Amino acid sequence: MPQEQAGKTQTKQQAQNAMILAVVRSHIWRGLLETGTVKSIAEIARANKVDGSYVSRIPDLTLLEPDIIDAILDSEEHSC
């Protein structure tokens, strides 16, 4: 595989991994907030060493339609 093609494949894989991680985090973090396990978005941000604005946007991913989430998760299988 040419080096340029390998770089594109790696970049695509990184983007897919980031989407999958965001979807997983969305469900975990929303659950932590809803159950009261954590008291705030700031607490999640500190615990995960990420910016609070990022944490505040991620739980909205739980509102995606199930077929969209399936497509994100299926993209991992098809990229191998």
pLDDT tens readout for residues 11-59: 888 999 999 999 999 999 999 999 999 999 999 999 999 999 999 999 9
Asked if 20 contacts 30 with a C-beta cutoff of 8 angstroms, the reply is: no
Q: Which of 27, 31, 15, 28 is nearest to 72 (CA)?
A: 15
**pTM of the full predicted structure?**
0.75
In the predicted model, is pLDDT for residue 8 greater than 70? no
Residue ranges of alpha helices (H) inside the chain are: 3-35, 41-48, 52-57, 66-78
Residue 73 pLDDT exceeds 90: no
| Residue 77 in this model has a pLDDT that exceeds 80 | no
Supply the pLDDT for residue 80.
Answer: 45
- Dihedrals φ, ψ of 43, to 5°? -65, -40
Domain ranges (residues) in the chain? 29-80
Residues 58 and 25: beta-carbon distance below 8 Å: yes
DSSP code at position 79: T
